[in-house]
Structure 1
Amino acid sequence: MQHHFRKIAKIALVFVYLVIAAGAIVRMTGSGMGCPDWPKCFGYYIPPTEATQLQWQPEREFKKGQVIIVDQTLQVANADFKTASEYDPQNWAPYTKHDYALFNPWHTWIEFINRLFGALAGLATLVLAIFSFRFWRHNKKITLFSWLVVFGMGFQAWLGATVVYSVLAPAKITVHMVMALLIVALLIYLIHTTKNSQGLTYQKNLAKWLLMAFVATMVQIILGTQVRHFVDEQIDVVGETAKHLWLSDVDWEFYVHRSFSIAIVVLNLFLGRQIWKHKLGFSKINWVLILIGIEILTGVSMYYLDFPFATQPVHLIIASVLFGVQFYLVLEVFRAKKFVRA
């Protein structure tokens, strides 16, 4: 039973990471408003591929809720109807969530795929939660946390809608990202708690240092989102092609983010040395160090090489994977510490 549960949990975790990866690509390509409404896309379950689909045409059937663009505004069909020879404004109502009314098929489908992965992730977590009822008699915590993941996914979907309605407000994007990491943490906890850990030993103060490293990673991720907001604002000012100007006139958050990475490297190298020296068996520290190395390489390349292609989404994706691996390592160490005390 635990084996099947962990397999479903891992599938759900993969889908959540695919959502994070898709979200990173959405930000890189500027496709966040590719679908200006939610949960549909221009009022369609399958989004349009051509601009003509969003234009008023005579003798054309529209379904209630479908959207067209008229004079740079979004107009929503009031009911199912067929158009006459001339445009009748009484059949339409203006979209009131925001005034963004642009269509780019490339952006639309990138955002649609992002939402599709989100739906698949939600379905996977729902299956996990239903399966978790088998644990109710002997471990209610697994069932409760599984359903907490489902409610978290629902809340995350609502956050996604607010991000769209706000026309990609930076603060809302940050909250959206933090919530995604919280869902990752819950799934990793469920995967870990249903596994029998063997071959792990504990050394005094290891948990304290590891927890400190994990908190440092969280702080670094939050600082990174602030730097990303600054870059987004610079893009609006200098344009997408002037990459050499994206990090001009940076504020204090950038310098803290850059310098803090040195402390993170030193701290995790110290942890790795302790684990290797005393043969404690926590092999995931190797992945932590590899991921930190990739983070530094992508960060340096963005600064000195003017944002090479895909370095931004890779930087974000690796940060989220680092968070997950490090959190699993924290759980392993605290379990080993608990066994030592027992």
Structure 2
Amino acid sequence: MQNSFRKVAKLSLILVYLVIIAGAVVRMTGSGMGCPDWPKCFGHYIPPTDESELQWQANTPFTKGQIIIRDEALVVANKSFTTGNDFEAANWDAYTKHDYATFNVAHTWIEYINRLFGALAGFATLILAVLSFKFLRNKKRVTVLSWLVVFGMGFQAWLGATVVYSVLEPVKITLHMIMALVIVAMLLYLIYITKQEKEPLDRPQVKIAPLMTLTLVLTLVQIVLGTQVRQFVDEQIDVFGESAKNLWLSDIDWKFYLHRSFSIIVVLLNIVLAQRIYKIGLGFKKINWVLGLIALEVITGISMYYLDFPFASQPAHLVLASLLFGVQFYLVLEAYSSRKTLKSL
């Protein structure tokens, strides 16, 4: 039973990361408003593939809630009906959530795939929560945390809706990203506390957990700063256009310099942490993953600045940061578990 639970937890974690990857692609392609409503897309469970499906047509059935574009605005069918030869305004209500009324089939389907991954991740976490009832007597925290993940996924879905309704307000995008990392942390914790008990590793009694925790916190701060830089880039894209990549970082403000300077601190601190682990022989092998991910983060960051945003460098930078957070969080769990096992300070 414990193995089955952990398999579902790992699957849930993979799906959550797929949602993060899909979300990064959505941002890279500017597809955030590909579906102007939520949870449906233009009032459909399966989105349209052609603009003609979003236009009024005579003698055509429409279902309640279906959205079309009329006079460069979104209107919603207020009942199910079949059109006649003339447009009847009484059958339609204005869409009031926002005034974005553009259809791009690529953007629509990219956003739809993002939502599909989100739905799959939500379904997987629900199965996980049901399986967690087996732990209710002996490990109540597993059950409680599993259901917190489900509620977290629900809250994340609500945040996704508010992002759409706000027409991609930067603050809400940032909260959306942070919530994804919270869900990642909860799933990793569930995976860790339900693993098969093993003999404790013979590690020196060294207080390393606080330093690991500090690096984790600084990584999270760096991710938040990165979302602010991304906001600035998005504003530059609106000004100069998608093709003028060489101008996206013109007139950069203090947020960019803070993000870049802070990255130096993060890199140096992780190098110090790694050096301490290697020197004393603490055996935390995942520090190698941390160093590798940081190296890739630095490469993608440098390439965006000096090579004018090569293809996929932006989503890669974000996904690598979320993976780095996950590995660091797991390292912190191992470090505190080691302290508890060894009964050291």
How would you bin the TM-score normalised by the shorter chain?
A: over 0.9
- Compare 246-255 and 93-102 and name the one that shifted more: 246-255
Q: Check whether the contact 2:37–2:165 (CA below 8 A) recurs between aligned residues.
A: yes
Aligned to 1:93: 93
Residue type at the aligned position of 2:203: T
Q: Does 1:190 align with 2:190?
A: yes
SS in 1 for 2:57: coil
Tell me which moved more, 8-17 or 277-286: 277-286
Whole-angstrom CA distance in 1 between matches of 2:120 and 2:329: 24
Alpha-carbon contact 1:202-1:333 (below 8 Å) kept:
no
The CA deviation string for residues 202-222 of structure 1, in whole angstroms up to 9 with x for no partner, is 542311111111111111111
The more displaced of 208-217 and 125-134 is: 208-217
257-266 vs 169-178, which moves further: 257-266
Q: Name the structure 2 match of 1:68.
A: 68
Q: Is residue 207 of structure 1 aligned with residue 242 of structure 2?
A: no
The alpha-carbon deviation at position 249 of structure 1 amounts to 1.1
Mark the CA change 1:134 to 1:89 in structure 2 (over 3 Å): closer, same or farther: same
The one of 300, 315, 318 equivalent to 1:316 is 318
Structure 1 position 43, deviation (Å) = 0.2
Q: CA shift at 1:286, angstroms?
A: 0.3
- Check conservation: 1:202, 1:336, Cα contact below 8 A: no
Q: Deviations over 1:233-266 (max 9, x none)?
A: 1111111111111111111121111112122111
Computed over aligned residues only, the root mean square deviation of the Cα atoms, in angstroms, reads 1.0
Matched, 1:258 2:260: yes
> How far apart are the structure 1 equivalents of 2:221 and 2:294?
14
Aligned partners of 2:204 and 2:280 also within 8 Å: no
Query: Counterparts of 1:87 and 1:203 in 2: how far apart (Å)?
Result: 78
- Measured after TM superposition, the shift of residue 131 of structure 1 is 0.1
In structure 1, the partner of 2:218 is: 216
**Equivalent position of 1:339 in the other structure:** 341
Q: Name which of 306, 320, 324 aligns with 2:308.
A: 306
Q: Structure 1 CA distance, aligned partners of 2:282 and 2:105?
A: 53
Aligned with 2:141: secondary structure?
A: helix
CA contact (8 A) 2:205 2:342 kept: no
Matches of residues 73-88 of structure 1 in structure 2 within 5 Å? 73-88=73-88
For residue 262 of structure 2, give the secondary structure of its aligned residue in structure 1. helix
Q: Could you say which residue in structure 2 is the equivalent of 1:233?
A: 235
- Give the counterpart letter for 2:117 in structure 1: F
Write out per-residue CA displacement over residues 15-72 of structure 1, whole angstroms, 9 at most, x where no aligned residue.
0000000000000000000000000000000000000000000010011100110001
The structural deviation recorded for 1:200 is 5.5
Identity %: 65
Task: Give the structure 2 partner of residue 23 of structure 1.
Answer: 23
CA contact (8 A) 1:32 1:168 kept: yes
Q: Given residue 109 of structure 1, which amino acid in structure 2 is its aligned partner?
A: W
CA contact (8 A) 2:67 2:74 kept: yes
Any stretches of 5+ residues in structure 2 without a counterpart? none
Q: Distance in 2 between matches of 1:249 and 1:205?
A: 44
Q: In the alignment, residue 263 of structure 2 is paired with which amino acid? A: S
2:128 aligned with 1:128, yes or no? yes
CA shift at 1:277, angstroms?
A: 1.9
Measured at CA, do residues 200 and 26 of structure 1 come closer, stay the same or move farther in structure 2, by a change above 3 Å? Answer: farther
- Report the Cα distance in structure 2 between the residues aligned to 1:166 and 1:209, rounded to whole angstroms: 39
Determine the C-alpha separation between the residues in 2 that align with 1:303 and 1:233: 16
Q: Does structure 2 conserve the Cα–Cα contact (< 8 Å) formed by 1:200 and 1:282?
A: no
* Corresponding position of 1:286: 288
The answer on whether the counterparts of 2:15 and 2:120 sit within 8 Å (CA) in structure 1 is yes
Change in Cα spacing, 1:17 to 1:202, as seen in structure 2 (3 Å) is farther
TM-score by length of 2: 0.97
